[in-house]
A and B are shown apart, each in its own frame.
Chain A
Amino acid sequence: MSTIAMPEPDAALLSRREEVVAELNAALPGGRVISELSETRVYECDALTAYRCPPLAVVLPETTEEVAAVMRVCSKLGVPVVPRGSGTSLAGGALPTADCVLLGVARLNRILDIDTENRIARVQTGVTNISVTQAAEGDGFFYAPDPSSQLACAIAGNIAMNSGGAHCLKYGVTTNNLLGVTAVLADGEIVEIGGAHLDNGGLDLLGLLCGSEGQLAVITEATLRILRAPEGARPVLMGFSSNEVAGACVADIIKAGVLPVAIEFMDRPCIRACEDFAQAGYPDVEALLIVEVEGSEAEIDAQLAKIKAVAERHDPIGYRESQSAEESARIWKGRKSAFGAMGQLNDYMCLDGTIPVSQLPYVLRRIGEMSKEYGLDVANVFHAGDGNMHPLILFDANKPGDLETCEAFGADILKLCVEVGGCLTGEHGVGVEKRDLMTAQFTGPDLESQMAVKDVFDPRWLLNPAKVFPLEASASRRGASAV
C-alpha cells in the first residue's frame, strides 16, 4: 500500500455514469468520448505510475469550443474534470479519480503560427514541447523551456506545471516565456488573456494561471516567446572529488559574473547509469558538472576560460570541453536520459525540491546521511545553477514496505529543502505527490489565500480538485462540489 490517499469517489456520480457519457456524446462530434474500461485504462495514470485509477470517461476534444462544451456539461452535472496533456507528470498532476471526466488535449495538436518578426509562436496546447522548436528552427529560432521529457510532454502540461528544464538558468521557465493563452473556465466560458504583446495591465491573471496545475482553467491555445538560436553552444565536463566541492564550484562560477546557459550536476551512481545508457564519455568521478555556454566560437572560448579558472580553484579531476556537435549531443543525451537510464537499473522515486545554491554542499551531505539511515540509495542529478535538485531514491517496488520507506525518505528530503530556505517542487508541480507536504512550506492562511483564488475561478472545485492542497485543507470546498 502506498501512502497517498485519494478521496472516495462520489457514489452518486458513479451511478450516473451513463448519463454523463450520453450528455458528453450529445455535446460533441462523434469519436470524442471514450467510456469502455479497456480504453479508459490507458489514462489511469501519468508518469507517477505508483498511483492508478481509470476515470469515469475520457474526452478528447479537437477545438477550444469542444473543450468549452465538455466543461459546460461537466459543470451542469457537477462532474470533476481532470485535464491531461501528454501524461508525463511525475507528480500525479493528471491522475484521475473514478468519478472524473479526464479531458485530454492531445488532439489540439496544431502549430497555428510562427512569427519570427515578432518572435512569437501561437500553438494549440496539445502540441509537444519539442514540436514548437522544430517548427521554428528552420528560421533559426527555438522555444527555450526544455524539460527532459520534451519529446513527449505537451505545452498544456508545461503551462499547468510551469515547467523548467536544463537551460532555464539563462532563459527562464515556462511562465517567463508565455505571453498569452486561450483558456476555458470551469463553467465553459472562453477567455483570452495576454497575446502577442507584453505585460498586460490589470492583475496578472496569465501569471496566475501558469503553474496552477489545471485547477483554474483548461488552456487550449498559447502564445509563446521564441528566441533566435545562439551562434553556437559548447558544454564542458568537470569532475570533482566530492559533491561538496562541486557545489562550491557552482556558486563561484555564478559569482564570477558568467551566466552559463546551464549548470547540471550528477553524482557517481547517476554518472555510471547515464554513461552506460548514452556513452557520453562522462568521467567516472564522485561528482560531475556539465556547464554549457553559448555564443560564437571566440566568445565560447573566452567564457570557458573564465569558468576554467574558477574550476581550477576547486581541483577538478578532469576538465573536458566538447570537441564537436556530436559529442555535445551525446553529453546532453546522457543528461536528459538520466531518469530513463536510472529506471533501467532500479525502481526510483524522483524528487524535485529547490534549495538556495549556497546550501548545496550541506543538503547533499544530509541526503547522504539520511540515505544510510533509511537504507535506500540515492542518485543525484539536478540543475545546480538554480538549486533545483532531483535526488532519485532507489527502491524495489516488489519488496513489501520499500515504497513506503522511500516515500517517507522523500518527504524528509523535501522538508529539508524547505528548512534551508527552499521549496518542495521546482518544476514538476505538487500534484498528488507533494500535496500533503504543503503544510511544511505554507501556513494555514498561506494555503487559504491560494485556495481563495481557486474559489474565484472554480467555485465548486470541479477542476482537478484533489491535487495541490492537502485533502484535509480542501475537504469542505471539495465537498461542496457534490451534487
Chain B
Amino acid sequence: MIIRPRWADFKVIGLYTGKVIIGVGILMVIPLTTSLLFGEWNSAIDFLIGIGACLVFGLGLEVLCQTPKNMAWGHGLVVVSFSWLMATVLGAIPHYLSGHFSSYLDAMFDVMSGYTTTGLYLLQDLDHVSHGLNMWRHVLTFAGGQGIIVIALTFLFQGTAGAYKIYVGEGKDERLLPNVIQTARAIWLVSLAYLVVGSFFLWISGMLLGLGPLRSFLHAIWIFMSAWSTGGFAPQSYNSIYYHSLLYEVITVPIFVIGSFNFALHWAVWTGEKREIYRNIEIISFFTTVAIALLLATAGLMKLGVYPDIAILFRKMFYQVVSAHTTTGLGTIYSRTFVRQWGTFSMLGIILAMAIGASACSTGGGFKGLRMGIIFKAVIQDVRRLISPESARIVEKWHHISTRLLDDATVRIAMLIVLSYVGIYALGTVIGVYYGYDLVQAMFDAVSAGSNTGLSCGVVSPTMPTLMKVVYIFEMWAGRLEFMSLFALAGYFVALIRGR
C-alpha cells in the first residue's frame, strides 16, 4: 500500500528546501559585490532582486513550515531534487534580467548547467556580459560542483539530525569524517585550498600571456572554478582557445583531473594515505578508459590528417579527450570543429569519454570510474566462475579507500545507475534525431548534457526547439543527482495521487 504524504511531510520538505534557497541567496552576495566593485549598477540591482526573491521564498518556507517532525530518508531525497529545481528557478533571475536570454527557460538552462557543472549555455553575446554575471556563472558552477546541499550543510545547518539524508541525495555518499557536517566542511576546505593555489598559478600565467593584472586575476578565478568543478564555463565565447597557450593548458589539465577525483580520495591523500592514489579502483579505471578514448580519437584524427604533426595532434586531442573524460567541457577547438574537422570516429571517442565520466563523489558526472571498475570486476568474476569447477567459490575484491569483497548488491546498484545514464543519453539522442539532427551529433550533445560535460558540436543553441531545452535540463539535473533523488520525487507525486 502506498501511503499518501501528510501535511507534516510537506512541512519537513519545505523547511529544509527553504534553508537551501536561503543559501543560494547568500551566494549571490559574491557577484553582487563584484558588480558593485566594477560599477555595474544595473547588474547589481539584478542581483539584489535575485537575493530578495531567494530570501523571501526561503524565509517564507521556514516561517510556514516549522515542524518538530524529524527528516526521513524519503524527505531528504525529495528535499534535494526539489531544492535543486527551486534553486534553478530563482537563481535564473539575474541571468534573465541581464537581457542576454531569449526566454526564462533559456536562463534556467544556463543555471541548471552551472549547478550541475555541465557548461552548456544559451546565453547570447557572452563577450559583452558584466563581470558580475560572469562571476555568478562561475560561482554557480563552483558551488554546484561541491554541491549546493553541501553549502547549506556547511553554513546553515546547526544540528546533524537528517543532514546525512540530504547529503546522500545529492549524489555523494562518502563520509570523509564521522560527522556529515564536518564532511561538508572538509569538502569545502579541500576545494578552497586548491582555489587559492590554482588561481595564483593561473593569474601569474595570465599576466605572462599578455592579460592585464586585473583581468588576469578575474580570468584565473573563473577558469579555476570552472576547471576544478569540471564545469566548462569560460568568461569569453572562445572558451580556452582565447588564451592560445600551452602553459594555460598545462595548468588547467591537472586542475580538472584532480577536480574529477573522488573527495574521499583527496581526503585520504591529505591525511597521509598516499598509496591510495595508485590502489584506488577509480584511478585505475580512469587511466584505462582515458587510454582507450585517446586511442580512438587519435585513430580518427590520423585517418583524416587534421593536424600537421603528431605533437600538435596529441596536444589538441589530449586536451579535448581529458576534458571530456573528466566531464569538464573546456575546449581548445571550436564546437563545429568536432564535426567539420575531427569527424565521426573521433567524435565517438569523445562520446565514450564523456559517457564514462569522472569519479563518484566528485564534481564530475557520467557513469563514474567506480561503477565501471565494479562492472568490469563483476564480468571478470562471472568469467572466472564459468571456467571454474562448480564447487569453487570465486571471490573478487575491489579497493576504494578500503578493500572490499565484490557482492551482487553492489554490482546491481552500479548496473542500475549505469542503465539509468544510458536511458537519459538515449532520450536526448532520440529527441535530437526527431528534430532532424544527425545521429552522431545528437548523441554527442545528449551525452554531453547527461554526463554534465558541456562540450558541444553545435546542436545546443538558443534556437534549438523548446522541448530539446527541457529534455537537456532534465538530463543535466538527473545526471548530476544520480537518479535516486528524482525517483524519490517521482514517488512522492505518485503517492500524492494514488496513496491512501
Our verdict on whether A and B bind, yes or no, reads no
